[in-house]
Structure 1
Amino acid sequence: MRLNRYLALCGVGSRRGAEKIIADGRVRVDGKVVLLPAFRLPEGALVTVDGAPIRPEEMRYVLLNKPAGYVCSVSDKFDPVVTELLPEEFANYRLFPVGRLDKESEGLLILTNDGIFAQEILHPSKGILREYRALLDREITRKDVRRWRDGLCIEGRTLKPVHVLIEEEEPRNRWVTVVLAEGVKREVRIMAKALGFNVQSLIRRKIGKMELAHLPTGACRAMTRGELWRAIRHGALV
Protein backbone atom coordinates (compact mmCIF):
# COMPACT_ATOMS: atom_id res chain seq x y z
CA MET A 1 0.00 0.00 0.00
CA ARG A 2 1.22 3.50 -0.79
CA LEU A 3 2.16 5.68 2.16
CA ASN A 4 -0.26 8.52 1.33
CA ARG A 5 -3.18 6.09 1.10
CA TYR A 6 -2.19 4.49 4.40
CA LEU A 7 -2.19 7.88 6.13
CA ALA A 8 -5.62 8.67 4.70
CA LEU A 9 -6.95 5.34 5.99
CA CYS A 10 -5.58 6.24 9.40
CA GLY A 11 -7.73 9.37 9.43
CA VAL A 12 -4.78 11.74 9.17
CA GLY A 13 -6.60 13.66 6.42
CA SER A 14 -7.28 13.50 2.72
CA ARG A 15 -4.68 11.96 0.45
CA ARG A 16 -3.54 15.44 -0.57
CA GLY A 17 -3.31 16.50 3.07
CA ALA A 18 -1.30 13.37 3.79
CA GLU A 19 1.11 14.27 0.99
CA LYS A 20 1.88 17.60 2.67
CA ILE A 21 2.50 15.90 6.01
CA ILE A 22 4.90 13.52 4.25
CA ALA A 23 6.64 16.37 2.40
CA ASP A 24 7.13 18.20 5.71
CA GLY A 25 9.20 15.27 6.99
CA ARG A 26 6.76 14.39 9.76
CA VAL A 27 6.33 10.74 8.74
CA ARG A 28 8.69 7.89 9.59
CA VAL A 29 8.52 4.28 8.46
CA ASP A 30 10.35 1.90 10.79
CA GLY A 31 12.18 4.89 12.26
CA LYS A 32 13.29 6.47 8.98
CA VAL A 33 11.86 9.67 7.50
CA VAL A 34 10.11 9.01 4.18
CA LEU A 35 9.40 11.91 1.83
CA LEU A 36 7.76 10.02 -1.05
CA PRO A 37 3.93 9.81 -0.95
CA ALA A 38 4.05 6.82 -3.33
CA PHE A 39 6.44 4.88 -1.08
CA ARG A 40 5.28 1.25 -0.84
CA LEU A 41 4.92 0.14 2.75
CA PRO A 42 6.45 -3.23 3.57
CA GLU A 43 4.16 -5.62 5.40
CA GLY A 44 4.11 -5.00 9.15
CA ALA A 45 5.89 -1.63 8.91
CA LEU A 46 5.57 0.79 11.83
CA VAL A 47 4.42 4.21 10.64
CA THR A 48 4.61 7.26 12.89
CA VAL A 49 3.52 10.88 12.47
CA ASP A 50 5.30 13.37 14.72
CA GLY A 51 6.61 10.38 16.66
CA ALA A 52 3.20 8.85 17.37
CA PRO A 53 2.36 5.44 15.85
CA ILE A 54 -0.68 5.39 13.57
CA ARG A 55 -2.86 2.53 12.41
CA PRO A 56 -5.97 2.38 10.24
CA GLU A 57 -9.01 3.13 12.36
CA GLU A 58 -12.63 2.14 11.95
CA MET A 59 -14.16 4.37 9.31
CA ARG A 60 -17.21 6.33 10.44
CA TYR A 61 -19.67 8.38 8.41
CA VAL A 62 -22.08 10.87 9.93
CA LEU A 63 -24.70 13.07 8.30
CA LEU A 64 -25.41 16.33 10.15
CA ASN A 65 -28.09 18.97 9.66
CA LYS A 66 -25.81 21.88 10.49
CA PRO A 67 -27.38 24.85 12.27
CA ALA A 68 -26.22 28.43 11.80
CA GLY A 69 -23.56 29.67 14.19
CA TYR A 70 -21.13 26.74 13.89
CA VAL A 71 -17.84 26.69 12.00
CA CYS A 72 -16.99 23.76 9.70
CA SER A 73 -13.78 22.82 11.46
CA VAL A 74 -12.54 20.51 14.20
CA SER A 75 -11.28 23.44 16.31
CA ASP A 76 -11.59 27.21 16.41
CA LYS A 77 -10.36 29.84 18.86
CA PHE A 78 -13.48 31.97 18.72
CA ASP A 79 -16.52 30.02 17.52
CA PRO A 80 -18.20 26.67 18.24
CA VAL A 81 -17.38 23.96 15.70
CA VAL A 82 -19.60 21.34 14.07
CA THR A 83 -17.89 18.42 15.80
CA GLU A 84 -19.28 19.74 19.11
CA LEU A 85 -22.74 18.77 17.86
CA LEU A 86 -21.86 15.07 17.63
CA PRO A 87 -22.85 12.57 20.34
CA GLU A 88 -20.24 11.27 22.77
CA GLU A 89 -20.04 7.96 20.88
CA PHE A 90 -18.06 9.71 18.13
CA ALA A 91 -15.61 11.45 20.48
CA ASN A 92 -12.82 8.92 19.93
CA TYR A 93 -12.99 9.17 16.14
CA ARG A 94 -11.15 11.96 14.40
CA LEU A 95 -14.11 13.08 12.32
CA PHE A 96 -13.78 16.11 10.07
CA PRO A 97 -16.27 17.90 7.81
CA VAL A 98 -16.30 17.02 4.12
CA GLY A 99 -16.32 20.39 2.39
CA ARG A 100 -17.59 23.54 4.03
CA LEU A 101 -20.66 25.49 4.93
CA ASP A 102 -19.86 28.96 6.22
CA LYS A 103 -20.68 29.84 9.81
CA GLU A 104 -24.13 31.29 9.13
CA SER A 105 -25.20 28.63 6.63
CA GLU A 106 -27.26 25.54 7.44
CA GLY A 107 -28.10 22.15 6.03
CA LEU A 108 -26.54 18.87 4.97
CA LEU A 109 -22.96 18.22 6.02
CA ILE A 110 -21.02 14.94 5.98
CA LEU A 111 -18.40 14.22 8.64
CA THR A 112 -16.02 11.29 8.43
CA ASN A 113 -12.54 10.07 9.29
CA ASP A 114 -12.20 8.50 5.83
CA GLY A 115 -9.91 10.82 3.89
CA ILE A 116 -10.22 8.84 0.66
CA PHE A 117 -14.02 8.99 0.77
CA ALA A 118 -13.86 12.74 1.45
CA GLN A 119 -11.63 13.28 -1.57
CA GLU A 120 -13.99 11.28 -3.79
CA ILE A 121 -16.99 13.31 -2.66
CA LEU A 122 -15.27 16.64 -3.29
CA HIS A 123 -13.48 15.91 -6.56
CA PRO A 124 -15.21 17.61 -9.54
CA SER A 125 -14.71 14.50 -11.69
CA LYS A 126 -17.34 12.68 -9.61
CA GLY A 127 -19.99 15.15 -10.77
CA ILE A 128 -21.70 15.40 -7.37
CA LEU A 129 -23.92 18.48 -7.40
CA ARG A 130 -24.93 20.54 -4.36
CA GLU A 131 -28.30 22.23 -4.12
CA TYR A 132 -28.95 25.27 -1.92
CA ARG A 133 -31.96 27.35 -0.93
CA ALA A 134 -31.16 31.03 -0.49
CA LEU A 135 -33.36 33.78 0.93
CA LEU A 136 -32.44 37.12 -0.63
CA ASP A 137 -32.89 40.51 1.01
CA ARG A 138 -35.18 41.73 -1.78
CA GLU A 139 -37.13 40.42 -4.75
CA ILE A 140 -35.17 39.00 -7.65
CA THR A 141 -36.30 39.45 -11.26
CA ARG A 142 -36.16 36.91 -14.07
CA LYS A 143 -33.57 39.13 -15.73
CA ASP A 144 -31.36 38.80 -12.65
CA VAL A 145 -31.83 35.03 -12.72
CA ARG A 146 -30.77 34.90 -16.39
CA ARG A 147 -27.62 36.88 -15.57
CA TRP A 148 -26.91 34.50 -12.68
CA ARG A 149 -27.40 31.43 -14.87
CA ASP A 150 -25.09 32.83 -17.56
CA GLY A 151 -22.23 33.10 -15.07
CA LEU A 152 -20.56 36.03 -13.36
CA CYS A 153 -16.97 37.22 -13.72
CA ILE A 154 -15.76 38.01 -10.20
CA GLU A 155 -12.17 39.06 -9.53
CA GLY A 156 -11.02 37.58 -12.82
CA ARG A 157 -12.79 34.26 -12.33
CA THR A 158 -16.07 33.13 -13.86
CA LEU A 159 -18.50 31.56 -11.41
CA LYS A 160 -21.39 29.77 -13.07
CA PRO A 161 -24.09 27.71 -11.36
CA VAL A 162 -25.60 24.61 -12.91
CA HIS A 163 -29.07 26.04 -12.34
CA VAL A 164 -30.91 28.90 -10.62
CA LEU A 165 -34.66 28.91 -10.05
CA ILE A 166 -37.06 31.25 -8.25
CA GLU A 167 -39.11 29.29 -5.71
CA GLU A 168 -42.87 29.64 -5.31
CA GLU A 169 -42.70 30.40 -1.61
CA GLU A 170 -43.30 33.39 0.63
CA PRO A 171 -41.82 35.92 0.68
CA ARG A 172 -42.42 35.77 -3.07
CA ASN A 173 -39.51 36.18 -5.48
CA ARG A 174 -36.96 36.14 -2.66
CA TRP A 175 -36.32 32.40 -2.25
CA VAL A 176 -34.10 30.87 -4.94
CA THR A 177 -32.73 27.39 -5.56
CA VAL A 178 -29.08 27.37 -6.65
CA VAL A 179 -27.33 24.21 -7.89
CA LEU A 180 -23.52 24.13 -7.93
CA ALA A 181 -20.99 21.72 -9.39
CA GLU A 182 -17.91 23.00 -7.57
CA GLY A 183 -17.14 24.03 -4.04
CA VAL A 184 -15.82 27.59 -4.20
CA LYS A 185 -15.86 29.16 -0.74
CA ARG A 186 -19.04 31.20 -0.11
CA GLU A 187 -19.93 30.84 -3.80
CA VAL A 188 -23.68 31.45 -3.48
CA ARG A 189 -23.18 34.53 -1.32
CA ILE A 190 -20.47 35.90 -3.62
CA MET A 191 -22.59 35.49 -6.76
CA ALA A 192 -25.64 37.02 -5.09
CA LYS A 193 -23.54 39.97 -3.92
CA ALA A 194 -22.27 40.54 -7.46
CA LEU A 195 -25.90 40.91 -8.55
CA GLY A 196 -26.63 43.38 -5.76
CA PHE A 197 -28.27 40.99 -3.28
CA ASN A 198 -27.47 39.92 0.25
CA VAL A 199 -28.25 36.36 1.32
CA GLN A 200 -30.22 36.34 4.56
CA SER A 201 -30.51 32.57 4.88
CA LEU A 202 -28.65 29.77 3.11
CA ILE A 203 -29.50 26.08 3.42
CA ARG A 204 -27.78 23.19 1.67
CA ARG A 205 -30.68 20.96 0.71
CA LYS A 206 -29.02 18.29 -1.42
CA ILE A 207 -25.69 16.53 -1.85
CA GLY A 208 -25.97 14.63 -5.10
CA LYS A 209 -29.45 13.09 -5.01
CA MET A 210 -29.56 12.88 -1.21
CA GLU A 211 -32.13 15.40 0.05
CA LEU A 212 -32.66 16.90 3.50
CA ALA A 213 -36.20 16.13 4.63
CA HIS A 214 -36.48 14.59 8.11
CA LEU A 215 -33.28 15.28 10.04
CA PRO A 216 -33.92 18.06 12.59
CA THR A 217 -31.59 21.05 12.77
CA GLY A 218 -28.54 20.17 14.87
CA ALA A 219 -29.25 16.43 14.73
CA CYS A 220 -27.04 13.80 13.12
CA ARG A 221 -27.36 10.30 11.73
CA ALA A 222 -24.70 7.60 11.44
CA MET A 223 -24.54 5.82 8.09
CA THR A 224 -22.32 3.25 6.44
CA ARG A 225 -20.16 4.16 3.48
CA GLY A 226 -22.42 2.10 1.22
CA GLU A 227 -25.62 3.71 2.53
CA LEU A 228 -24.18 7.16 2.03
CA TRP A 229 -22.99 6.48 -1.51
CA ARG A 230 -26.35 4.97 -2.47
CA ALA A 231 -28.19 7.99 -1.08
CA ILE A 232 -25.91 10.40 -2.95
CA ARG A 233 -25.97 8.53 -6.25
CA HIS A 234 -29.50 7.13 -6.37
CA GLY A 235 -31.48 9.40 -4.06
CA ALA A 236 -32.88 9.30 -0.53
CA LEU A 237 -34.79 11.58 1.83
CA VAL A 238 -32.83 11.99 5.06
Structure 2
Amino acid sequence: MRLDKLIEQELLTSRKEMKQYFARKQVRIDGQVEMNASRNVDSLLHHIQVGSDCLYTDHVYLLMNKPAGVVTALKDEKHTTVTQLVASVDQRETLYPVGRLDRDTEGLLLLTDNGQLGYELLLPEKKVEKTYEVWVNGKLSEADRLAFQAGIMFHGGEICKPAKLAILDASDKMSHCLLSIQEGKFHQVKKMFLSRNVKVTRLRRIRMGPLSLDSQLLRGGYRQLSYPELMKLKPYFK
Protein backbone atom coordinates (compact mmCIF):
# COMPACT_ATOMS: atom_id res chain seq x y z
CA MET A 1 0.00 0.00 0.00
CA ARG A 2 1.22 3.54 -0.66
CA LEU A 3 2.75 4.87 2.51
CA ASP A 4 0.95 8.23 2.35
CA LYS A 5 -2.42 6.55 1.84
CA LEU A 6 -1.74 4.19 4.75
CA ILE A 7 -0.95 7.10 7.07
CA GLU A 8 -4.10 8.99 6.04
CA GLN A 9 -6.22 5.86 6.44
CA GLU A 10 -4.84 4.57 9.73
CA LEU A 11 -4.14 7.87 11.51
CA LEU A 12 -7.15 9.68 10.02
CA THR A 13 -5.02 12.62 8.97
CA SER A 14 -5.58 15.30 6.37
CA ARG A 15 -3.24 15.48 3.39
CA LYS A 16 -1.46 18.41 5.03
CA GLU A 17 -1.02 16.58 8.34
CA MET A 18 0.31 13.51 6.55
CA LYS A 19 2.98 15.60 4.79
CA GLN A 20 4.02 17.13 8.09
CA TYR A 21 4.99 13.69 9.42
CA PHE A 22 7.45 13.37 6.55
CA ALA A 23 8.72 16.93 6.93
CA ARG A 24 9.44 16.27 10.61
CA LYS A 25 11.14 12.96 9.73
CA GLN A 26 8.72 11.03 11.92
CA VAL A 27 8.09 8.27 9.37
CA ARG A 28 10.33 5.24 9.70
CA ILE A 29 10.46 1.98 7.76
CA ASP A 30 12.47 -0.79 9.41
CA GLY A 31 13.97 1.80 11.72
CA GLN A 32 15.14 4.13 8.94
CA VAL A 33 13.69 7.57 8.21
CA GLU A 34 11.57 7.36 5.04
CA MET A 35 10.93 10.42 2.88
CA ASN A 36 9.26 8.69 -0.09
CA ALA A 37 5.54 9.16 0.53
CA SER A 38 4.59 6.95 -2.43
CA ARG A 39 6.65 3.95 -1.29
CA ASN A 40 4.81 0.63 -1.39
CA VAL A 41 4.78 -1.02 2.03
CA ASP A 42 3.30 -4.07 3.69
CA SER A 43 3.45 -4.69 7.43
CA LEU A 44 4.19 -8.37 6.76
CA LEU A 45 7.49 -7.24 5.23
CA HIS A 46 8.17 -3.86 6.83
CA HIS A 47 8.08 -2.35 10.30
CA ILE A 48 6.06 0.83 9.68
CA GLN A 49 6.26 3.52 12.35
CA VAL A 50 4.87 7.06 12.35
CA GLY A 51 5.83 8.90 15.50
CA SER A 52 4.96 6.47 18.29
CA ASP A 53 2.36 4.61 16.21
CA CYS A 54 2.97 1.32 14.39
CA LEU A 55 0.83 0.91 11.27
CA TYR A 56 -0.47 -2.30 9.72
CA THR A 57 -1.71 -3.25 6.27
CA ASP A 58 -4.16 -5.95 5.22
CA HIS A 59 -3.26 -6.94 1.66
CA VAL A 60 -4.04 -10.30 0.11
CA TYR A 61 -1.68 -12.25 -2.19
CA LEU A 62 -3.09 -15.36 -3.85
CA LEU A 63 -1.17 -17.95 -5.86
CA MET A 64 -3.61 -19.62 -8.27
CA ASN A 65 -3.33 -22.61 -10.59
CA LYS A 66 -5.47 -21.19 -13.37
CA PRO A 67 -7.39 -23.83 -15.34
CA ALA A 68 -8.00 -23.75 -19.08
CA GLY A 69 -11.35 -22.24 -20.06
CA VAL A 70 -11.26 -19.47 -17.44
CA VAL A 71 -10.50 -15.91 -18.50
CA THR A 72 -8.00 -13.60 -16.80
CA ALA A 73 -10.41 -10.73 -16.28
CA LEU A 74 -12.56 -9.12 -13.62
CA LYS A 75 -15.79 -9.50 -15.59
CA ASP A 76 -16.86 -11.46 -18.64
CA GLU A 77 -20.35 -12.06 -20.02
CA LYS A 78 -19.60 -15.50 -21.50
CA HIS A 79 -16.89 -17.17 -19.42
CA THR A 80 -15.93 -17.75 -15.80
CA THR A 81 -13.27 -15.31 -14.61
CA VAL A 82 -10.31 -16.03 -12.33
CA THR A 83 -11.71 -13.75 -9.64
CA GLN A 84 -14.90 -15.83 -9.57
CA LEU A 85 -12.79 -18.81 -8.47
CA VAL A 86 -11.85 -16.94 -5.29
CA ALA A 87 -13.98 -17.67 -2.21
CA SER A 88 -15.91 -14.78 -0.67
CA VAL A 89 -13.72 -14.84 2.45
CA ASP A 90 -10.68 -13.98 0.31
CA GLN A 91 -12.38 -11.44 -1.94
CA ARG A 92 -11.39 -7.78 -1.96
CA GLU A 93 -13.05 -5.02 -3.95
CA THR A 94 -9.72 -4.24 -5.65
CA LEU A 95 -8.50 -7.83 -6.12
CA TYR A 96 -7.13 -8.35 -9.61
CA PRO A 97 -4.85 -10.71 -11.59
CA VAL A 98 -1.27 -9.56 -12.22
CA GLY A 99 -0.83 -9.86 -15.98
CA ARG A 100 -2.92 -12.21 -18.07
CA LEU A 101 -3.03 -15.75 -19.36
CA ASP A 102 -5.03 -16.71 -22.46
CA ARG A 103 -8.31 -18.51 -21.81
CA ASP A 104 -6.84 -21.87 -22.86
CA THR A 105 -3.58 -21.36 -20.93
CA GLU A 106 -3.13 -22.95 -17.51
CA GLY A 107 -0.86 -22.38 -14.58
CA LEU A 108 0.59 -19.80 -12.24
CA LEU A 109 -1.32 -16.59 -11.71
CA LEU A 110 -0.85 -14.05 -8.92
CA LEU A 111 -3.90 -12.19 -7.67
CA THR A 112 -3.58 -9.30 -5.25
CA ASP A 113 -5.17 -6.07 -4.12
CA ASN A 114 -1.73 -4.42 -3.95
CA GLY A 115 -1.85 -2.51 -7.21
CA GLN A 116 1.63 -1.04 -6.89
CA LEU A 117 3.20 -4.49 -6.61
CA GLY A 118 1.39 -5.69 -9.71
CA TYR A 119 2.54 -2.61 -11.61
CA GLU A 120 6.18 -3.20 -10.67
CA LEU A 121 6.06 -6.87 -11.68
CA LEU A 122 4.76 -5.95 -15.13
CA LEU A 123 7.22 -3.14 -15.91
CA PRO A 124 9.27 -4.11 -19.01
CA GLU A 125 12.46 -2.71 -17.50
CA LYS A 126 12.13 -5.08 -14.52
CA LYS A 127 12.63 -8.01 -16.94
CA VAL A 128 10.57 -10.37 -14.81
CA GLU A 129 11.15 -13.79 -16.36
CA LYS A 130 8.20 -16.09 -17.01
CA THR A 131 8.64 -19.81 -17.71
CA TYR A 132 6.10 -21.93 -19.56
CA GLU A 133 5.74 -25.65 -20.03
CA VAL A 134 4.77 -26.10 -23.67
CA TRP A 135 3.52 -28.96 -25.83
CA VAL A 136 3.54 -28.55 -29.63
CA ASN A 137 2.33 -30.72 -32.51
CA GLY A 138 5.67 -31.32 -34.19
CA LYS A 139 9.35 -31.96 -33.71
CA LEU A 140 11.57 -29.30 -32.17
CA SER A 141 15.30 -29.28 -32.85
CA GLU A 142 18.55 -27.52 -31.98
CA ALA A 143 17.82 -25.10 -34.81
CA ASP A 144 14.64 -24.03 -32.99
CA ARG A 145 16.53 -23.54 -29.74
CA LEU A 146 19.04 -21.30 -31.48
CA ALA A 147 16.27 -19.36 -33.21
CA PHE A 148 14.60 -18.62 -29.86
CA GLN A 149 17.95 -17.66 -28.40
CA ALA A 150 18.56 -15.20 -31.24
CA GLY A 151 15.09 -13.64 -31.00
CA ILE A 152 12.05 -14.87 -32.91
CA MET A 153 10.75 -12.61 -35.68
CA PHE A 154 7.00 -12.45 -36.25
CA HIS A 155 5.34 -11.89 -39.61
CA GLY A 156 5.56 -8.15 -40.19
CA GLY A 157 9.09 -7.85 -38.82
CA GLU A 158 8.46 -7.56 -35.07
CA ILE A 159 11.33 -9.18 -33.19
CA CYS A 160 11.04 -10.77 -29.74
CA LYS A 161 13.75 -10.53 -27.14
CA PRO A 162 16.04 -13.59 -26.85
CA ALA A 163 14.31 -16.48 -25.10
CA LYS A 164 15.51 -19.71 -23.51
CA LEU A 165 14.10 -22.92 -24.99
CA ALA A 166 14.82 -26.25 -23.31
CA ILE A 167 13.58 -29.29 -25.27
CA LEU A 168 12.50 -32.07 -22.90
CA ASP A 169 11.17 -34.53 -25.48
CA ALA A 170 10.77 -34.44 -29.25
CA SER A 171 9.14 -36.72 -31.79
CA ASP A 172 7.65 -36.20 -35.24
CA LYS A 173 4.16 -35.69 -33.81
CA MET A 174 4.80 -33.99 -30.48
CA SER A 175 7.43 -32.08 -28.55
CA HIS A 176 7.52 -31.08 -24.90
CA CYS A 177 9.65 -28.13 -23.79
CA LEU A 178 10.22 -25.27 -21.37
CA LEU A 179 10.29 -21.68 -22.60
CA SER A 180 11.48 -18.67 -20.58
CA ILE A 181 10.74 -15.13 -21.77
CA GLN A 182 11.03 -11.63 -20.31
CA GLU A 183 8.21 -9.89 -22.13
CA GLY A 184 4.49 -10.38 -22.67
CA LYS A 185 3.33 -9.58 -26.16
CA PHE A 186 -0.20 -10.56 -27.20
CA HIS A 187 -0.34 -14.36 -27.75
CA GLN A 188 3.45 -14.24 -27.76
CA VAL A 189 4.28 -17.85 -26.91
CA LYS A 190 1.86 -19.29 -29.46
CA LYS A 191 3.07 -16.93 -32.17
CA MET A 192 6.71 -17.73 -31.44
CA PHE A 193 6.15 -21.42 -32.04
CA LEU A 194 4.00 -20.78 -35.10
CA SER A 195 6.95 -18.93 -36.58
CA ARG A 196 8.82 -22.25 -36.29
CA ASN A 197 6.00 -24.11 -38.06
CA VAL A 198 4.56 -25.89 -35.04
CA LYS A 199 1.35 -25.22 -33.12
CA VAL A 200 1.00 -25.07 -29.34
CA THR A 201 -1.43 -27.74 -28.15
CA ARG A 202 -1.09 -27.12 -24.42
CA LEU A 203 0.46 -24.26 -22.46
CA ARG A 204 1.08 -23.93 -18.74
CA ARG A 205 2.96 -21.19 -16.89
CA ILE A 206 5.08 -22.64 -14.12
CA ARG A 207 7.15 -19.65 -12.99
CA MET A 208 6.84 -15.88 -12.78
CA GLY A 209 9.83 -14.05 -11.37
CA PRO A 210 10.65 -15.63 -7.99
CA LEU A 211 7.29 -17.44 -7.75
CA SER A 212 6.78 -21.05 -8.85
CA LEU A 213 3.58 -22.99 -9.45
CA ASP A 214 2.66 -25.13 -6.44
CA SER A 215 2.45 -28.73 -7.63
CA GLN A 216 -0.03 -29.44 -4.82
CA LEU A 217 -2.57 -26.95 -6.14
CA LEU A 218 -5.39 -28.51 -8.12
CA ARG A 219 -6.50 -26.72 -11.29
CA GLY A 220 -8.66 -23.83 -10.23
CA GLY A 221 -7.23 -23.94 -6.72
CA TYR A 222 -5.37 -21.17 -4.96
CA ARG A 223 -3.71 -20.36 -1.67
CA GLN A 224 -2.20 -17.41 0.16
CA LEU A 225 1.45 -16.76 -0.59
CA SER A 226 3.70 -18.10 2.15
CA TYR A 227 5.93 -15.68 4.04
CA PRO A 228 9.09 -16.94 2.24
CA GLU A 229 7.34 -16.40 -1.11
CA LEU A 230 6.28 -12.90 -0.13
CA MET A 231 9.83 -12.14 1.01
CA LYS A 232 11.04 -13.04 -2.49
CA LEU A 233 8.78 -10.26 -3.81
CA LYS A 234 10.19 -7.65 -1.43
CA PRO A 235 12.57 -6.19 -4.07
CA TYR A 236 9.47 -5.22 -6.10
CA PHE A 237 8.06 -3.08 -3.27
CA LYS A 238 9.14 0.37 -4.47
* TM-score, normalized by the shorter chain, greater than 0.5: yes
Instruction: Name the residue aligned to 1:175.
Output: 176
Amino acid at match of 2:101: L
Instruction: Name the residue aligned to 1:142.
Output: 142
Indicate which of 209, 217, 221 corresponds to 2:223.
221
Instruction: Name the residue aligned to 2:16.
Output: 42
Preserved CA contact (<8 Å) 1:73 1:83: yes
Which blocks of at least 5 consecutive residues in structure 1 are unaligned?
Answer: 11-39, 45-55
User: Shift in Å at residue 57 of structure 1?
Assistant: 7.8
Amino acid at match of 2:179: V
Equivalent-residue separation in structure 1 for 2:193 and 2:181 (angstroms)? 13
SS in 2 for 1:167: strand
State yes or no: 1:163 paired with 2:164: yes
Instruction: Name the residue aligned to 1:207.
Output: 208
Equivalent-residue separation in structure 2 for 1:159 and 1:152 (angstroms)? 5
Residue-by-residue CA offset, 1:163-194 (whole Å, 9 max, x unaligned): 01101488986011100111222211111111
User: Shift in Å at residue 141 of structure 1?
Assistant: 2.0
Instruction: Name the residue aligned to 1:96.
Output: 96
Amino acid at match of 1:206: R
Seen in structure 2, the aligned counterparts of structure 1 residues 179 and 92 have a Cα distance that, compared at 3 Å, is closer
Aligned residues: 192
Seen in structure 2, the aligned counterparts of structure 1 residues 143 and 81 have a Cα distance that, compared at 3 Å, is same
Instruction: Name the residue aligned to 1:83.
Output: 83
Amino acid at match of 1:195: R
User: Shift in Å at residue 119 of structure 1?
Assistant: 1.0
Residue-by-residue CA offset, 1:118-155 (whole Å, 9 max, x unaligned): 01111233332110011001111221222222112223
RMSD: 3.3
Preserved CA contact (<8 Å) 2:136 2:201: yes
Preserved CA contact (<8 Å) 2:138 2:172: no
Amino acid at match of 2:150: D
Preserved CA contact (<8 Å) 1:134 1:175: yes
Preserved CA contact (<8 Å) 1:161 1:178: no
Among all aligned residue pairs of Structure 1 and Structure 2, give the percentage whose two residues are the same amino acid.
28
Equivalent-residue separation in structure 2 for 1:80 and 1:57 (angstroms)? 30
User: Shift in Å at residue 232 of structure 1?
Assistant: 5.5
Q: What is the TM-score normalised by the length of structure 1? A: 0.69
Preserved CA contact (<8 Å) 2:64 2:223: yes
Instruction: Name the residue aligned to 1:13.
Output: none
**Which has the higher Rg, Structure 1 or Structure 2?**
2
Equivalent-residue separation in structure 2 for 1:87 and 1:162 (angstroms)? 36
Amino acid at match of 1:223: L
Which blocks of at least 5 consecutive residues in structure 2 are unaligned?
Answer: 19-55
Q: What is the TM-score normalised by the length of structure 2? A: 0.69
Seen in structure 2, the aligned counterparts of structure 1 residues 182 and 100 have a Cα distance that, compared at 3 Å, is same
Larger mean CA deviation between 133-142 and 122-131 belongs to: 122-131
Amino acid at match of 1:149: Q
Amino acid at match of 1:68: A
Instruction: Name the residue aligned to 2:30.
Output: none
Equivalent-residue separation in structure 1 for 2:16 and 2:171 (angstroms)? 62
Seen in structure 2, the aligned counterparts of structure 1 residues 218 and 204 have a Cα distance that, compared at 3 Å, is same
User: Shift in Å at residue 216 of structure 1?
Assistant: 1.7
